[in-house]
Structure 1
């Protein structure tokens, strides 16, 4: 039997495999980060199911969130399949579906408004936040917002080997076109850095974090993806159509969309109390 040890060559080959599978850059980076974390844990050990199970146990001891552990195991299992070591794969941790989210992680509408106000002297950042929150796009999809597409009132985005059309609200369309004219951006991507390249995730993340103190918002809930979730909760609060929302967000599974529209424990408790069944 071959001596199973993960090598840098295998990881690089797995990297190229993920690219060929058309995984998004963020997904590829996450898979590689998780695989390297396991490789560091395994050290010189021969890779076996027992070693993978021990890593799983180690993550639990370190009190990683169940969702995080399962995500890391999924990354590793993908590598094991690729290497033909499927017998080493382990099962994810079973978890009852969560029906509400932690309040300290949910960005409220009021907090979003305070962030916008704090960004008044940073017009690009302010408009980036309005674009994400006003359409529900992923931050990686900002690059598809070109002058040409915005003029048409809709943007076709390609992400995770899927294509969908994003409609731009009239007010947002006007703001985007006004901004592009002011910045003398006559064609191509609207949100660019000083080098003319599309803004990247880390740049937007860092700029949003810089607003927290002035806006009085917990930094732990200020990041681009929470703007997408705020869009999802607001849309569902009006339409109550989870299937349509899944299509708008580009989700393959409605189960993913359910995570986006969870209310806080406070709101969940308020709903239960309104039932009036305890007298």
Structure 2
């Protein structure tokens, strides 16, 4: 009985009882794989939900059609594809266990496709927001401000990954050329052009770069620092960007180095760049990775079709 002023404790819900084959599966997870209590509880709930869908029939007796109908039911109730895919993963492991133990001759989940999870759209900065960031950075004439301005201009002009930006060798930009050679993922090299504004920001920074070096210090990095890596870290650059967002009147939660890379790609496409060129500049191995940026430019593409497609013109 609860004491004075203490609310009675909430009664614990008894764990659902499963068919013997499912209980044996959970025992195997605990004994052979050392599954944690929370993991076992999640598997138990997933299998219990499937057996409830089967109206009490054991999960071990289900066929591929029942699994498909179950996934369709989850989708109809509005369950997130990622959660439904986790439910299917639990069923796959369960039926694999039955197959291994000789309790079943086939695996019905082997012919069932996982729910399509889609790819989340990237966060986007408008051109006006990027302009506000650049102009705010330019107004800070301190060495730190000049460095941040150069990093910002360089990233927006090239679409570099933040890891590529902070680890740029000094020799990459020392000659002031119109393009830089970037070594990206998988040690692959790509050539990325730079506009006049970015080149000027870099030259302004190079003039004060010695201020970031200790006396007599020599560094091969474009953006040297006292960090163990010898160059400015990704985390520090991210912090500087968020501070800049506040000064520019933007939501700092909306800004990160990766969002600048998104802005580079999206704004290029909105001004007519072709997808293959953007893919090459971003260093994407597969163009399907680049295609996500077409989804954030639907309005421009719709206008393009209405303006140039012959049937659209005829309809208007």
Do these two structures clear the TM 0.5 threshold for a shared fold by scoring above it? yes
| Aligned twin of 1:231 | 264
Which residue matches 1:158?
184
Say whether residues 1:181 and 2:207 are aligned partners: yes
Q: Is the radius of gyration larger for structure 1 or structure 2?
A: 2
Runs of 5+ unmatched residues, structure 1: 8-38, 81-86
Aligned partner of residue 173 in structure 2, secondary structure: helix
Task: Find the partner of 2:163 among 140, 153, 161.
Answer: 140
User: Do the aligned partners of 1:157 and 1:166 also contact (CA within 8 Å) in 2?
Assistant: no
- 2:115 equivalent in structure 1: 93
Question: 1: distance between equivalents of 2:37 and 2:204?
Answer: 50
2:238–2:257 CA contact under 8 A, matched in 1:
yes
Q: 1:229 to 1:97 in 2, by over 3 A?
A: closer
TM-score by length of 2: 0.54
Distance 2:304 2:202 in 1: 39
Aligned partner of residue 166 in structure 1, secondary structure: strand
Structure number with higher relative contact order (C-alpha < 8 Å, ≥ 6 residues apart): 1
**Once the two structures are superposed, what CA deviation does each residue of 1:178-236 show, in whole Å capped at 9, x if it has no partner?**
31231216651122334473222222222212223332323343111121112112333
Going from structure 1 to structure 2, the CA distance change for 1:180 and 1:270 (only over 3 Å counts) comes to same
Q: Alignment length, in residue pairs?
A: 223
Shift of 1:129: 1.4
Per the normalisation by structure 1, the TM-score is 0.60
Kindly indicate whether residue 134 of structure 2 is the aligned counterpart of residue 111 of structure 1.
Answer: no
Task: Give 1:43-122 correspondences, 5 Å limit.
Answer: 69=82, 92-95=114-117, 105-119=123-137, 120-121=139-140, 122=145
Picking from 214, 219, 232, the partner of 2:252 is: 219
SS at match of 2:184: strand
1:175 shift after superposition: 2.8
Is the alpha carbon distance of 1:40 and 1:115 closer, same or farther for their aligned partners in structure 2, counting shifts above 3 Å? Answer: farther
Query: How far is the alpha carbon of 1:145 from its aligned partner?
Result: 1.8
What secondary structure sits across from 1:156 in the alignment?
A: strand
| SS of residue in 2 equivalent to 1:155 | strand
| C-alpha contact (below 8 Å) 2:184/2:190 kept by paired residues | no
Contact 1:147 1:180 in 2 (8 A): no
1:25-36 paired onto structure 2 within 5 Å: none
Among 34, 39, 44, the alignment partner of 1:42 is: 39
Q: CA separation in 1, counterparts of 2:79 and 2:132?
A: 32
C-alpha deviation, 1:174, in angstroms? 4.1
Q: What is the DSSP-based 3-state SS (H/G/I as helix, E as strand, rest coil) of the residue aligned with 1:113?
A: helix
Instruction: Report the aligned-residue RMSD.
Output: 4.4
Q: Which residue of 2 aligns with 1:84?
A: none
Q: Distance in 1 between matches of 2:232 and 2:37?
A: 32
SS in structure 1 at match of 2:263: helix
Aligned CA distance change for structure 1 residues 180 and 96 (closer, same or farther; 3 Å): closer
